[in-house]
């Protein structure tokens, strides 16, 4: 079995001794090593809890200073924000947008993106297996946890949506339907960026996450799996009025019957993270959806074809 931190070959399988490496490749690997070291070889859970406390400090001056420093490293754009003065960093992370900033595709056959995101791995669920990156599979059974049956998605599609720290952090109902169950699974807080996904096996199955099961108006069962990551202090679910976090002491199985209208706000992350979408057979990717594409909440993500 591979070491969980082992880096897969990036050149078709040749080892370092099998072929010379160009200078740009060595620089890229060095940058990836540094990125991985700074974002994963740290006390992840302790930093995440500390970030949660810090982000809730209500001080407009401290918040402005923190955002100014943040912008030195991250292309944070607040031009669409409903308000640009924030009491705390959490208020900035979970900011609302101006009315009309996100328009959801109203066509009934369209499954809209629940969030702003960069599209990660996509594909077909085969024998209960999906991929977080090339050569790094994980099982839907492990991701969903021991209480949930993921067999409904065999032969269906999965789409990985990664939210960066600068993006709009709220997520919405991708179609009309009813949320029927939520399972909360506590876990680690590995970074979910591309570097970590190429190095840490079964990363999404290791991290804190929620499995949101939903029945669409069309009758199809779908699942949204919000996955937390380092510095993500919590996942807020409005329809249950619950805040899921590493110190959550409430029920981990939350049956419900909550009607949702396409575009209705379902919750938010308190930092960047990931949502993995699962749909049963009968859906195909919408035009323009491919790994690396940057999309907005409401944009067509999948299309029901049968």
**Looking at per-residue confidence, does 36 or 23 come out higher?**
23
Q: Which residue in 231, 174, 226 sits closest to 47, CA to CA?
A: 231
Distance CA 249, CA 184 (A): 11
Radius of gyration of the chain (CA): 19
Q: What percent of the chain has pLDDT over 90?
A: 57
Angle, CA of 240, 106 and 215, to the nearest 5°: 40
Query: What value does the mean pLDDT take over residues 113-142?
Result: 95
Q: What is the mean pLDDT of the chain?
A: 84
Q: Which residue in 134, 102, 93, 154 sits closest to 292, CA to CA?
A: 134
From 21-30, 41-50, 188-197, the region with the lowest mean pLDDT:
21-30
Is the model's pLDDT at 60 over the cut of 80?
yes
Give the per-residue pLDDT at 247: 66
Query: What value does the mean pLDDT take over residues 89-103?
Result: 92
Is the model's pLDDT at 23 over the cut of 80?
no
pLDDT per position as a tens digit, 106-120: 999 999 999 999 999
pLDDT per position as a tens digit, 153-203: 999 999 999 998 889 999 999 999 999 999 999 888 777 888 888 888 999
For residue 279, list its beta bridge partners.
157
Give the per-residue pLDDT at 232: 57
For the four alpha carbons of 64, 66, 67 and 68, in that order, the dihedral sign comes to: positive
- What is the number of helices (H) and of strands (E) in the chain? 7, 17
pTM: 0.82
Phi first, then psi, for residue 137 (nearest 5°) are -85, 160
Q: Is residue 273 annotated as a catalytic residue, yes or no? A: yes
Query: What value does the mean pLDDT take over residues 244-255?
Result: 77
Domains of the chain: 110-304 (2.70.70)
**Looking at per-residue confidence, does 56 or 85 come out higher?**
85
Give the per-residue pLDDT at 192: 80
Is the model's pLDDT at 30 over the cut of 90?
no
Is the model's pLDDT at 285 over the cut of 80?
yes
- Choice among 88, 113, 115, 273 that is catalytic: 273
Q: With beta carbons less than 8 A apart as the criterion, state whether 125 and 156 touch.
A: yes
Give the per-residue pLDDT at 296: 97
Give the per-residue pLDDT at 33: 54
Annotate 111-124 with DSSP letters as a single string.
Answer: EE-SS-EEEEEEEE
Query: What value does the mean pLDDT take over residues 68-97?
Result: 89
- Choice among 169, 172, 220, 245 that is catalytic: 172
Q: Is residue 116 annotated as a catalytic residue, yes or no? A: yes
Distance CA 203, CA 46 (A): 18
Query: What value does the mean pLDDT take over residues 192-221?
Result: 91
Is the model's pLDDT at 67 over the cut of 80?
yes
Q: What band does 10 get if pLDDT is binned at 50, 70 and 90?
A: very low
Q: With beta carbons less than 8 A apart as the criterion, state whether 177 and 217 touch.
A: yes
Give the per-residue pLDDT at 82: 94
- Choice among 55, 88, 113, 116 that is catalytic: 116
Q: What band does 135 get if pLDDT is binned at 50, 70 and 90?
A: confident
Give the per-residue pLDDT at 1: 41
Q: Which residue in 35, 72, 290 sits closest to 166, CA to CA?
A: 72
- What the block records as the tokens of 137 is 């599979």
Q: What band does 20 get if pLDDT is binned at 50, 70 and 90?
A: low
């Amino acid at each position: 079995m591979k070491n969980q931190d082992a880096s897969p070959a990036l050149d078709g399988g040749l080892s370092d001794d099998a072929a010379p490496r160009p200078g740009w490749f060595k620089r890229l690997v060095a940058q990836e090593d540094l990125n991985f070291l700074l974002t994963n070889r740290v006390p992840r859970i302790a930093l995440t809890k500390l970030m949660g406390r810090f982000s809730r400090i209500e001080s407009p001056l401290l918040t402005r200073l923190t955002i100014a420093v943040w912008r030195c490293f991250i292309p944070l754009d607040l031009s669409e924000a409903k308000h640009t003065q924030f009491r705390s960093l959490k208020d900035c992370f979970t900011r609302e947008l101006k009315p009309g900033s996100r328009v959801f595709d109203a066509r009934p056959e369209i499954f809209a993106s629940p969030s702003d995101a960069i599209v990660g791995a996509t594909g077909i669920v085969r024998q209960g297996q999906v991929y977080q990156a090339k050569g790094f599979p994980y099982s839907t059974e492990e991701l969903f946890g021991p209480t949930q049956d993921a067999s409904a998605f065999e032969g269906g599609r999965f789409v990985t949506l990664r939210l960066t720290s600068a993006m709009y952090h709220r997520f919405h109902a991708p179609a009309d339907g009813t949320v029927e169950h939520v399972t909360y699974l506590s876990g680690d807080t590995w970074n979910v960026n591309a570097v970590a996904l190429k190095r840490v096996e079964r990363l999404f199955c290791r991290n804190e996450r929620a499995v949101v099961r939903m029945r669409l108006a069309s009758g199809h069962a779908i699942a949204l799996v919000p996955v937390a990551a380092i510095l993500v202090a919590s996942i807020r679910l409005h329809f249950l009025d619950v805040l899921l976090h590493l110190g959550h002491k409430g029920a981990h199985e939350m049956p419900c019957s909550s009607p949702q209208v396409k575009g209705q706000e379902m919750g938010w992350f308190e930092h960047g993270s990931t949502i993995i979408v699962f749909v049963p057979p009968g859906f195909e990717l919408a035009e323009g959806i491919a790994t690396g594409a940057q999309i907005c909440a409401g944009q067509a993500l999948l299309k029901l074809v049968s």
